């Protein structure tokens, strides 16, 4: 084996390892932390920090704390999964908005507004969401559709759509600000 061929193979292996490292470090889901870790304390009183979720979120979701701040995750008696993955743990952090990458922590939710889409408008919303998000394909009739605005302490708004199929079944569509296929969460009661 010539020295040039050896160096070429070594360089190729290094490039492949570097690519795998970068690919593993960069994640597509809104639940991935995008800043340095701090020691966020949920027991501390932050201005306007919410401490409970409104209905219908509180039925299947819970507020949790991690190093950078608040996160909305599944309750223990519910199962969440991204529509395109069985391995990643779905979560919606207060830092989920795309513009948060340059803003340092802490991040927490300061306001949550929930509005139910009127029954006569549901099919129009669903048609638009299904046209925009290829991974949103309900198998059952959607019985209720909610539009949720999550505002964080940096005044960024993360928009959710909650589509309920039947009791114990539904979809969370996370828009931060765009609704993307990799941001679709399916949930069901265990």
Would you give the distance in Å from CA 164 to the centre of its chain? 17
pLDDT tens digits for range 56-93: 999 999 999 888 889 999 999 999 999 877 788 899 99
Say whether pLDDT at 3 is over 60.
yes
Query: What is the domain range of residue 22?
Result: 3-189
CB 5 within 8 A of CB 11: no
Q: What is the pLDDT of residue 100?
A: 81
Q: What is the pLDDT of residue 33?
A: 47
∠149-147-29 over CA atoms, to 5°? Answer: 65
pLDDT tens digits for range 122-150: 999 999 999 999 999 998 999 999 999 99
Domain count along the chain: 1
Q: Please give, one letter per residue, the 3-state secondary structure of 43-112.
A: CCCCCCCCCCCCCCHHHHEEEEEECCEEEEEECCCEEEEECCCCCCCCCEECCCCHHHHHCCCCECEEEE
């Amino acid at each position: 084996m010539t020295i040039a061929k050896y160096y070429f193979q070594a360089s190729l292996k290094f490039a492949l390892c570097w690519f795998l490292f970068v690919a593993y470090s960069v994640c597509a889901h809104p639940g991935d932390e995008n800043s340095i870790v701090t020691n966020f304390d949920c027991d501390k009183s932050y201005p306007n920090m919410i401490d409970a979720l409104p209905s219908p979120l509180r039925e299947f979701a819970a507020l949790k704390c991690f190093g950078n701040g608040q996160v909305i995750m599944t309750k223990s008696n519910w199962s969440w999964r991204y529509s395109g993955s069985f391995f990643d743990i779905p979560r919606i952090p207060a830092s989920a908005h795309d513009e948060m990458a340059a803003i340092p922590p802490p991040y927490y939710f300061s306001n949550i507004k929930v509005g139910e889409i009127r029954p006569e408008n549901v099919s129009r919303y669903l048609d638009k969401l299904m046209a925009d998000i290829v991974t949103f394909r309900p198998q059952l009739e959607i019985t209720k559709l909610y539009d949720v605005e999550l505002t964080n302490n940096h005044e960024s708004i993360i928009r959710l759509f909650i589509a309920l199929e039947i009791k114990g079944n539904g979809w969370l569509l996370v828009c931060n600000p765009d609704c993307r296929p990799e941001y679709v969460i399916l949930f069901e009661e265990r």
